[in-house]
Amino acid sequence: MAKMTMVQALNHALHQQMRKDDSVVVLGEDVGVDGGVFRVTDGLIDEFGKERVIDTPLAESAIVGTSIGMAIYGLKPVGEIQFSGFSYLAFHQLESHAARMRWRSQGGYHVPMVLRMPYAGGVRALEHHSESREAYYAHTPGLKMVIPSGPRTARALLVSAIQDPDPVIFFEPKSVYRAFREEVPEEEESMPLGQAQVVREGGDITLIAYGAMLRPTLEAAQRLEDEDGVQAEVIDLLTISPLDTDTFAESVRKTGRAVVVHEAPRSFGPGAEVVSRLVEKSFWYLEAPIQRVTGFDIIIPMFAYEQVYLPGVERILRGARETLNA
């Protein structure tokens, strides 16, 4: 096992899948010679050539629209949108076609494509480089929406996404790209899409998070144990759609208390869906109102203020304590 950053783990997954299956192609802006602006596709063009690692014109809709055609023809395109903030230029291709081709053709054609993009804040970037709009894609029937939280889950989920027969939107938390290393096994490892993970067990409260919010949530859980003697269970959603209801609903039946954490704006965010499902499935076990610790319903501020905006350990702790003391 090697210790890898998320960037290295994603790169490893792409190398491995491309070696294994010549229908896998990578396309996007600067993904070839440059290796991607975050270097996730580094070295692919040397090994697989420019026909399989396609430096496209600067055109998001074309990256997605041609991926759809390639996928229908039997390829497995892995497209990259340089930042999720630019994915709206291709939104209609995802909503109107990628998501619908299987349905429209009654199973005759399907679109086994992956669209990777860095999302969320924390790297002091320009406007349009820091937002979290996973709800757009999770709200679109026909798409799957995946967000890994660390190197190992990123590698395993990307493998699954590439092998999945349906279009998968793959958000990569850019603040995690190089934040820490994890052991990632050399041999292929996948994780089923649509399955959450209990990453810390506890019986007093359930903290539900994903993506870049997992680390501060785990830290908050540790502080709850150290400072309050509270055992928090932490769930990493990993897939936003299809959402694994069972894992968090069961956990909350055990703990009776829940906090949902995400960077995305609160209203109509993934947390709203999680809370709704908890109300539907675990209402009679609830001991206290569920808290949402999320981004505010504003445009994420320019980076001088982004750390103030982003939910962090203190805000998660405050949410958890409010629930615990209710």
Partner 1 sequence: MPREKIDLPHHVEYLSILDKDGNVDQDLEPDIPDDQLRKLHRYMLLGRRFDERMLRLQRQGRIGTFAPIKGQEASQIGPVAALREDDWMVPAFREAGAMIWRGQSMEGILLLYGGFNQAGEMPEGINNLPVAVPVGTQVLHAVGLGYGMKYRGDDRVAMTFFGDGATSEGDFHEGLNFAGVFQTPVVFVCQNNHWAISIPRSHQTRSETLAQKALAYGMPGIQVDGNDILATYVAATEAVERARSGGGPTLIECVTYRRSVHTTADDPTRYRTDEEVAEWEERDPITRFQKYLKDKGLLSDQELEELEEEIDTEIRDAVEKTEKRMEELAGEAMVMFEHMYAELPPYLREQRDELARELAAKEGSNG
- Min dist CB 122 to partner 1, Å, is 31
Of residues 16, 17, 41, 56, which one binds partner 1 by CB under 8 A? 56
By beta-carbon proximity to partner 1, the closer residue of 12 and 144 is 144
By rule CB under 8 A, what string of x and - marks binding of each residue 225-244 to partner 1? -----------------xx-
The answer to whether residue 121 forms part of the interface with partner 1 (CB under 8 A) is: no
Catalytic residue numbers, as ranges: 129
- Min dist CB 93 to partner 1, Å, is 6
Q: Which DSSP string corresponds to 221-246?
A: HHHIIIII---EEEEE--EEETT-HH
The answer to whether residue 140 forms part of the interface with partner 1 (CB under 8 A) is: no
- Min dist CB 194 to partner 1, Å, is 6
By beta-carbon proximity to partner 1, the closer residue of 76 and 155 is 76
Element (H, E) at 4: strand 2-4
The answer to whether residue 141 forms part of the interface with partner 1 (CB under 8 A) is: yes
By rule CB under 8 A, what string of x and - marks binding of each residue 170-209 to partner 1? ------------------------x---------------
Residues that contact partner 1, how many (by CB under 8 A): 48
In order of 20, 181, 301, the CA distances from 307 in angstroms are 41, 23, 9
Which segments of the chain does DSSP mark as H helices, in order?
A: 6-20, 44-48, 60-72, 91-93, 101-104, 134-138, 151-163, 214-223, 245-255, 270-282, 306-309, 313-325
The answer to whether residue 70 forms part of the interface with partner 1 (CB under 8 A) is: yes
CA–CA distance, 33 with 276 (Å, rounded to integer): 46
Of residues 39, 42, 86, 96, which one binds partner 1 by CB under 8 A? 96
Tokens 């990493």 belong to residue: 236
The answer to whether residue 115 forms part of the interface with partner 1 (CB under 8 A) is: no
By beta-carbon proximity to partner 1, the closer residue of 193 and 218 is 193
By beta-carbon proximity to partner 1, the closer residue of 7 and 25 is 25
Of residues 17, 93, 294, 323, which one binds partner 1 by CB under 8 A? 93
CA–CA distance, 171 with 59 (Å, rounded to integer): 19
- Min dist CB 45 to partner 1, Å, is 15
Tokens 């820490």 belong to residue: 180
Element (H, E) at 53: strand 53-55
Element (H, E) at 188: none
The region of 121-129, 140-148, 179-187, 296-304 touching partner 1 under the rule CB under 8 A is 140-148
Of residues 165, 185, 203, 289, which one binds partner 1 by CB under 8 A? 165
Of residues 12, 97, 174, 262, which one binds partner 1 by CB under 8 A? 97
5 in helix, strand or coil? coil
CA–CA distance, 240 with 156 (Å, rounded to integer): 16
- Min dist CB 233 to partner 1, Å, is 21
Backbone angles phi, psi at 249, to 5 degrees: -65, -40
Give the DSSP letter of residue 149.
Answer: -
Q: Give every CB contact of residue 294 below 8 A, 6+ residues apart in sequence.
A: 260, 261, 262, 263, 264, 265, 266, 269, 271, 311
The answer to whether residue 104 forms part of the interface with partner 1 (CB under 8 A) is: yes
Closest to 209 (Cα-Cα) out of 111, 134, 104: 134
Q: How many CB atoms lie within 10 A of CB 108?
A: 9
Note the residues at the interface with partner 1 (CB under 8 A). Answer: 25, 51-52, 54, 56-57, 59, 61-62, 64-75, 77, 89, 92-93, 96-97, 101-110, 141-142, 144, 164-166, 194, 242-243, 245-246
